[in-house]
Structure 1
Amino acid sequence: MTTMTQASVREFKMPDVGEGLTEAEILKWYVQPGDTVTDGQVVCEVETAKAAVELPIPYDGVVRDLHFPEGTTVDVGTPIIAVDVTGGSAPAEAPAPGEAPAPAEAPAPVQAPAPAPVAREAEEKKPEGRQPVLVGYGVAASSTRRRPRKGVAIPAQEPATAAVQPELNGHGGAPAVQERPLAKPPVRKLAKDLGVDLTTVVPTGPGGIITREDVHAAAAPAQAPVAEPVTQAPAPVTPPAPVPVPAYDTARETRVPVKGVRKATAAAMVGSAFTAPHVTEFVTVDVTRTLKLVEELKQDKEMQGLRVSPLLLIAKALLVAIRRHPEINASWDEAAQEIVVKHYVNLGIAAATPRGLLVPNIKDAHAKTLPQLAESLGELVATAREGRTSPAAMQGGTVTITNVGVFGVDTGTPILNPGESAILAVGAIRLQPWVHKGKVKPRQVTTLALSFDHRLVDGELGSKVLADVAAILEQPKRLITWA
């Protein structure tokens, strides 16, 4: 029978699918033990603090073991699946051909157990031609149980080599020869050191064996004659009371473990809120012309097949404002005590998903044309909703847009993404009475809110950027003249 070597079993470890991630949760296994896998085949889906990612196996073989069930959070670098790259059927634990079986599996020769210290003492003291009794361990190895002891203990000064005769007392034979008290050699030495006569000690150990506690109890009156010996039963040990678990009504409450994306988002928001001094400014703007431009672009041949929405033009307006005021596109380097101005814009788009808030970003958004920006924006939103956003897509953002208007909210005070200088919140677009050309008319109006890091963006710079975005949305033709 052909067996498989240990070298043929490959352990696939949990990789760091992001930048500096330490753990990931196994969401779903796509294979089971016994399945054949090929190099590049996706074997499982894991959720990190940043995204859900599918993991491909890097070699061919047969799945031997899935080390963790679904729903388990595993540290990066821990083996999660074992694959037999030979495709054999023998278990991974089988020894390699030609190797000696493991000692635990080989039939070991029967050997007599090494005598314990007390046994050796008894052997040294036994008279010739007699079967010894191992003190504290019963009769010779051929006996299966200890017979009742009915004899009276012999005096302590009797030689230790006194032979132990068969107990015939009460069975019609000669009277039983007295035997010495049962005690292990260390206990005998303790009794000798304390001057305690073992024949006067009341044994409490199993099988009538005298214990160290018995010797100390017997020595207590001699060492402290003024103190009256008091025999007390040991106090019952009360196990510690279990830590009370707060009870709650499952019909009225649901407890959701904080992990994965939600846990990472919570930590990032707390860190950002208490590290970067936030300032938020607001502006209400008439976006009626912007909505008309959206409808016109939907009919444009260059935009066919692309998703055109107000968010697209808002993103383009922010990119134009950043081009006019590049200092807003920066980050704060605490270690170096420097402001790092970025000459590129990785535009983050906050997306609410069932797994929590994700903020993937469009790389080099500043260099994209309007159709290219529309295409990237559509792909980003679709991928986020499907939960397929990669960790790389959420790294390196510089400025973010969050569209809370889709929830019917007028605006908010958004918290910065860690490492970014500004975030623009877009409120709901509503038909409202508005003064237009000296008359009150119904116009499409929205409110924008810009939060920024006041360490590197002062009120003037933040105000100029927000005012530029509002001006472009009110007069979209500025996209051409300012771009």
Structure 2
Amino acid sequence: MPTQKNVELPDIGDFDAVDIIEVLVKVGDTVNENDSIITLETDKATMEIPAPFAGKVTALSVKVGDKVAKGDLILTLESESESAESLEETPESAQPVDQNSKSSLAQKNVELPDIGDFDAVDIIEVLVKVGDTVNENDSIITLETDKATMEIPAPFAGKVTALSVKVGDKVAKGDLILTLESESESAESLEETPESAQPVDQAKKDVASEVVTNIDEKNETFKEEISLNPDSNFHASPSIRKLARELGVSLSGIKGTGKKGRILDEDLKSHVKTLLENGTVVEEVEVIPLSRIKKLSGKHLSKCWSTIPHVTQFDEVNIEQLEKFRKHQKEKNIKLSPLVFIMKAVVQVLKRHPNFNASLDENAENLILKKYFNLGIAVDTPNGLLVPVIKDVGKKSLIELSEELAEVSLRAREGKLDSSEMKGAGFTISSLGGIGGTQFTPIINAPEVAILGVARTQIKPIWNGSTFEPTSMIPLALSYDHRVIDGAEGARFMAELNQVLSNIMEMLL
């Protein structure tokens, strides 16, 4: 007889309350063992929870938006377990589906293969879960280095019995990824008797019908309706579901071409393309994962912006004299960018305002004054913003700074900087002068307490006492931590920087 059985949330790791973002079944649905019933989302990943046994949904205890923890009731199933137990008690009346494969199952570990010269690589997506059946070369995890993302395939087919990694872990060559229950020995016995073997594609086609036929012929009381692509319960991985939500596309209208009607990446893309051609979707979109550098810098900048009380001081500096000097040097084949002059001027002013060349300790209770003058210089790269550090700026000439800055910026854009080259700054300069814009508000690079933003030089009419004359003016924006530096001190710093930059002779002293 059918019995009512509760399905509770199993142990999903160190999470107290997890959001339900999808309920994949409704009352009246019939689910098979391991069919997905709900989708959960943590701050790191999405995951589907499978049914622990087959049955008919008689009650739902959760809805989208609920938070659940281990042991919480999800739904109730009307299960045919008693009928199944009676079959176990009379094995002579049942025919094994595949006695040979049953006795030849083996647990095999899948380790990370050699992926090149990487010691530790981030896992950004786990594409399978315990209970999934994977084919050889099916993707199981996605990795991301500072240069590319890559999917790692299964080296052989089998059923996932254990996962040893999660999103956010770092892995290296030889690390255990998961364990598969493999039928390799059964496969070997088939190879030894090729005359009895069936073509692989045809064998896959007949698996479902063979199972149902065997059960029906031997026990009329144990029947189960199997649908490889039921309209009421579509199958898709968490990454596909997430992409569909971002695109605003319902998966219910998509016919999956994967195993058991699973919706694949190409199925979703084809569906969206059809919608676009029919005019259903107004604009096409593309979802691009953030690079590792942008993810890391994004978290850091968000923390800096939310925890530091920023004040930004704006000014414009007359650099007409500086520009004439640069032009004169260029005629002698000496190329100097305005940035190297700004670097020298900043160091000169920092010596008189040590609170700007400092950092706060971890408790934000002590100010650490730095006696050296190392400047972080923000560099735009294809993978995101990097801040290499130019050391001992005050001890180097304009020409030395220009050559070092060009060399470091090139290696930053090529992704060849060492992590040690981005540490030890006391003050940072972010220059957008080569790109454009009139002003911007730079975000302080904690634990530093100040940063200077430099925009594009403009020619403006400036009154000289008797007439207006065209003058090179450079916009500056000084952001500082108001816990350390007050407005008056910030204004004095900017005024002195203005004076040094506008008088080339004072800078060269």
Match of 1:396 in 2: 424
Match of 1:257 in 2: 289
Q: Do the aligned residues in 1 keep the contact of 2:359 with 2:446 (CA within 8 Å)?
A: no
Match of 1:464 in 2: 492
Match of 1:15 among 119, 125, 135: 119
Larger Rg, first or second structure (1 or 2): 1
Letter of the 2:387 partner, please give it: V
How far off is 1:389 after superposition? 2.7
Deviations 1:211-264 (A, max 9, x none): 9xxxxxxxxxxxxxxxxxxxxx99x99965565642365963221112311112
Match of 1:79 among 173, 177, 186: 173
Report the Cα distance in structure 1 between the residues aligned to 2:119 and 2:391, rounded to whole angstroms: 24
How far off is 1:12 after superposition? 7.9
Report the Cα distance in structure 2 between the residues aligned to 1:479 and 1:420, rounded to whole angstroms: 25
Letter of the 1:396 partner, please give it: G
1:397-436 correspondence to structure 2 within 5 Å: 397-436=425-464
Letter of the 1:318 partner, please give it: V
Residue 384 of structure 1 pairs with residue 478 of structure 2: no
* Distance change (3 Å), C-alpha of 1:292 and 1:47: farther
SS of the aligned residue for 2:351 comes to: helix
Q: Which stretches in structure 2 are left out of the alignment for 5+ residues?
A: 1-112, 125-142, 155-166, 176-184, 190-214, 236-240, 250-271
Match of 1:372 in 2: 400
SS of the aligned residue for 2:501 comes to: helix
Letter of the 1:252 partner, please give it: E
Deviations 1:156-182 (A, max 9, x none): xxxxxxxxxxxxxxxxxxxxxxxxxxx
Report the Cα distance in structure 2 between the residues aligned to 1:292 and 1:257, rounded to whole angstroms: 46
SS of the aligned residue for 1:406 comes to: coil
Letter of the 2:119 partner, please give it: P
Report the Cα distance in structure 2 between the residues aligned to 1:461 and 1:299, rounded to whole angstroms: 40
The CA RMSD over aligned residues, in Å, is 4.1
Match of 2:327 among 295, 320, 331: 295
Match of 1:184 in 2: none
Q: Do the aligned residues in 1 keep the contact of 2:304 with 2:444 (CA within 8 Å)?
A: yes
Match of 1:207 in 2: 218
- Structure with the bigger percentage of helix: 2
Letter of the 2:307 partner, please give it: T
SS of the aligned residue for 2:434 comes to: helix
Letter of the 1:354 partner, please give it: P
* Distance change (3 Å), C-alpha of 1:458 and 1:373: same
How far off is 1:451 after superposition? 0.6
TM-score by length of 2: 0.49
How far off is 1:208 after superposition? 5.1
Residue 345 of structure 1 pairs with residue 373 of structure 2: yes
Report the Cα distance in structure 1 between the residues aligned to 2:434 and 2:117, rounded to whole angstroms: 41
Report the Cα distance in structure 2 between the residues aligned to 1:11 and 1:377, rounded to whole angstroms: 33
For these two proteins, the number of residue pairs brought into alignment is: 291
Match of 1:279 among 311, 317, 320: 311
Q: Which stretches in structure 1 are left out of the alignment for 5+ residues?
A: 1-8, 17-21, 26-44, 54-65, 82-102, 108-203, 212-232
Of the two structures, which has the highest relative contact order with CA contacts closer than 8 Å and spacing of 6 or more?
1
Report the Cα distance in structure 1 between the residues aligned to 2:500 and 2:123, rounded to whole angstroms: 43
Identity of aligned residues (%): 29
How far off is 1:67 after superposition? 6.7
SS of the aligned residue for 1:320 comes to: helix
* Distance change (3 Å), C-alpha of 1:77 and 1:307: farther
SS of the aligned residue for 2:433 comes to: helix
- Structure with the bigger percentage of strand: 2
SS of the aligned residue for 1:388 comes to: coil
* Distance change (3 Å), C-alpha of 1:209 and 1:397: same
Report the Cα distance in structure 1 between the residues aligned to 2:371 and 2:153, rounded to whole angstroms: 45
